[in-house]
């Protein structure tokens, strides 16, 4: 399918998926009821399964959080019990996961505070086989005497290697994005390298692999300086991207995706999904460009895979009063469309009740109407969605943090999920 260039407004083409309370069949991912947060997911294309990872404080500790996981099939049925990925003393969190489709292993990465008394947080990793069983022990990706956080990971099936990227403050306390290649056996390949030059602080990286051009796309937020980062105006420089094929000491400046005063208000999440047929990426993020009137919104940009330049201008995906945040995105291979999901406060502006919404974005720039993806009749907060797509079953797995079990005496927050098929 050829890429159709477009100019001007993005047209709504009607509701393609309508989720109602009667059709929702959501379920908790973990067998344990505990304080769980920040779900991530990778799709196993060989066995048609998903590996979900999350941060878990099941031992009632606010500081000693661990990383757990669980395998589900494409119908949402459990394939394993809860998997202990890392429960080392000191705390672990902010996990990310990728699947090696050649050797059929997973690599899970996270921020780790086991050495925090001397060197702050590090990036650690764990290999798992396709059954979810650990291969060897936890190992450090980077452990310099500075802070490393916000790791993300993707797999290159052509050269059989993972790329891990993270936020790092080794350069005179100016946070930049660094990366490192990891072999399928967990070996550290070559040296750590700077991903892209930039004037300000870089954070919130996201990764995706371009199958056609055999390279990675990294996207992130770039902050002008620390004073603006901490000020009430929170002025950000914008959303940037870079292509990575090899480690290099000659990092180039990032490619500008979008810039706007107050363009990115922390915390925000930047995600990219790849459409191989149309040879483009959809990059999505949270923006505060109209914060005084509308609060936070979700914007996106369609980006050419050939040169990283966006097609047309950045466009609004979710713009309602108050807050729409933390978008996640997949590409539906069967229907040839992107699905963007986010959490939304339009039902209750007191932030006591939040819902997950979604919207289809097509490669030609058209969009469906927004639709609810969680049950609005349930009380509580549903936030921080993550989503993955099953190519074989043509189903999607949606995950989120859910507070429906929270009481006055128990602060239970669990990871919930649901499987759905688009019409």
Contact 319, 294 (CB under 8 A): yes
8-state DSSP, 310: B
How far is CA 240 from each of CA 81, 125, 360, rounded to the nearest angstrom? 39, 26, 23
Query: Within a domain: residue 283?
Result: yes
pLDDT averaged over every residue in the chain:
85
Query: Which residues are CB-neighbours of 126 under 8 A, at least 6 positions away?
Result: 85, 86, 107, 108, 134, 136, 137, 138, 139
SS3 293: helix
Between the two ends of the chain, the Cα-to-Cα distance in Å is: 20
For residue 423, what are the CA distances in angstroms to 65, 301, 329, 372?
39, 24, 18, 15
Distance CA 268, CA 264 (A): 7
3-state helix, strand, coil in the chain (%, to 5): 5, 50, 45
Indicate if the pLDDT at residue 82 is higher than 80.
yes
Q: Which residues are CB-contacts of 218 (< 8 A; sequence separation ≥ 6)?
A: 165, 177, 179, 195, 196, 205, 206, 207, 241, 242, 243, 244
Task: Convert the pLDDT of each residue in 266-303 to its tens digit.
Answer: 556 789 999 999 999 999 998 877 655 557 889 999 99
Question: What CATH code is carried by the domain that includes residue 294?
Answer: 2.120.10.10
Assess if residue 311 is contained within a domain: yes
| Per-residue model confidence as pLDDT tens digits over 208-221 | 999 999 999 999 98
What distance in Å separates the CA atoms of residue 135 and residue 183, rounded to the nearest whole number?
13
Has residue 40 been placed in a domain? no
Domain-located, residue 61? no
Q: How far apart are CA 164 and CA 113, in angstroms?
A: 18
- Strand ranges inside 297-354, DSSP E: 297-304, 315-318, 324-332, 337-344
- Which structural domain range is residue 298 located in? 27-32+88-388
Element housing 123 (H / E): strand 122-129
Residue 276 resides in a domain: yes
423 pLDDT exceeds 80?
no
407-420 residue pLDDT tens: 666 667 899 999 98
DSSP structure class, residue 31: S
Q: Is residue 62 part of a domain?
A: no
Q: How far apart are CA 17 and CA 14, in angstroms?
A: 9
The answer as to whether 179 is a domain residue is yes
Instruction: Please report the pLDDT score of residue 140 as a whole number.
Output: 95
Sign (positive/negative) of CA torsion 61, 51, 420, 163?
Answer: positive
Contacts of 422 (CB under 8 A, 6+ apart): 16, 17, 332, 335, 337, 339, 360, 396
pLDDT at 88 over 80: yes
Q: Is residue 57 part of a domain?
A: no
- Digit-coded pLDDT (tens) for 306-335: 999 889 889 999 988 778 899 999 999 999
Region 223-233: what's the mean pLDDT?
A: 47
Residue 237 pLDDT: 66
Biggest distance spanned by C-alpha atoms of the chain: 57
Collect all residues with Cβ–Cβ distance below 8 Å to 92 and sequence separation of at least 6.
55, 65, 66, 67, 86, 110, 111, 112, 113, 114, 124
The contacts of residue 101 (CB under 8 Å, 6+ apart) are: 44, 45, 46, 155, 157
Strand partners, 52: 41, 70
Q: pTM here?
A: 0.89
Specify the higher pLDDT residue, 306 or 90. 306
Does the pLDDT at position 11 exceed 50?
A: no
Split into its structural domains, the chain has a count of 1
**Bridge partners for 66 per DSSP:** 56
Instruction: Give me the sign of the Cα torsion angle 289, 40, 93, 95.
Output: negative
CA distance 423 to 403: 29
């Amino acid at each position: 399918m050829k890429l159709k260039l477009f100019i001007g407004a993005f047209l709504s083409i009607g509701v393609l998926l309508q989720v109602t309370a009667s059709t929702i069949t959501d379920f908790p991912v973990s067998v344990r009821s505990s304080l769980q947060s920040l779900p991530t997911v990778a799709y196993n294309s060989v066995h048609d399964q998903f590996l979900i990872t999350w941060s878990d404080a099941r031992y009632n500790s606010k500081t000693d959080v661990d990383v757990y996981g669980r395998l589900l099939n494409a119908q949402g049925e459990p394939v394993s019990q809860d998997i202990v990925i890392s429960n080392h003393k000191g705390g672990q969190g902010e996990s990310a996961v990728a699947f090696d489709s050649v050797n059929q292993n997973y690599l899970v990465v996270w921020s780790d505070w086991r050495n925090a008394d001397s060197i702050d947080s590090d990036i650690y990793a764990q290999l798992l086989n396709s059954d979810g069983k650990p291969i060897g022990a936890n190992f450090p990706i980077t452990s310099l005497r500075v802070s490393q956080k916000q790791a993300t990971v993707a797999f290159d099936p052509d050269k059989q290697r993972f790329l891990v990227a993270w936020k790092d403050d080794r350069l005179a306390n100016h946070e930049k994005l660094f990366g490192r290649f990891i072999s399928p056996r967990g070996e550290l390949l070559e040296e750590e390298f700077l991903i892209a030059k930039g004037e300000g602080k870089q954070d919130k990286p996201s990764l995706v692999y371009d199958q056609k051009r055999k390279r990675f796309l990294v996207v992130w937020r770039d902050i002008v300086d620390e004073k603006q980062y901490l000020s009430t105006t929170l002025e950000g420089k914008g959303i940037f991207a870079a292509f990575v094929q090899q480690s290099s000491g000659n990092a180039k400046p990032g490619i500008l995706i979008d810039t706007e005063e107050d363009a990115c208000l922390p915390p925000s999440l930047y995600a990219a999904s790849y459409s191989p047929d149309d040879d483009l990426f959809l990059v999505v993020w949270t923006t505060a460009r109209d914060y005084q009137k509308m609060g936070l919104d979700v914007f996106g940009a369609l980006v050419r895979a050939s040169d990283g330049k966006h097609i047309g201008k950045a466009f609004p995906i979710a713009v309602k009063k108050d807050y729409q945040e933390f978008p996640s995105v997949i590409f539906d291979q069967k229907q040839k469309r992107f699905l963007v999901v986010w959490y939304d406060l339009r039902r209750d502006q007191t932030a006591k009740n939040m819902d997950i919404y979604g919207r289809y974005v097509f490669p030609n720039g058209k969009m469906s109407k927004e639709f609810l993806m969680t049950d609005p009749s349930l009380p509580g907060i549903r936030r921080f969605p993550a989503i993955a797509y099953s190519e074989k079953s043509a189903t999607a797995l949606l995950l989120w943090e859910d507070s429906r079990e929270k009481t006055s005496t128990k602060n239970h927050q669990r990871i919930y999920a649901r499987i759905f098929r688009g019409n």
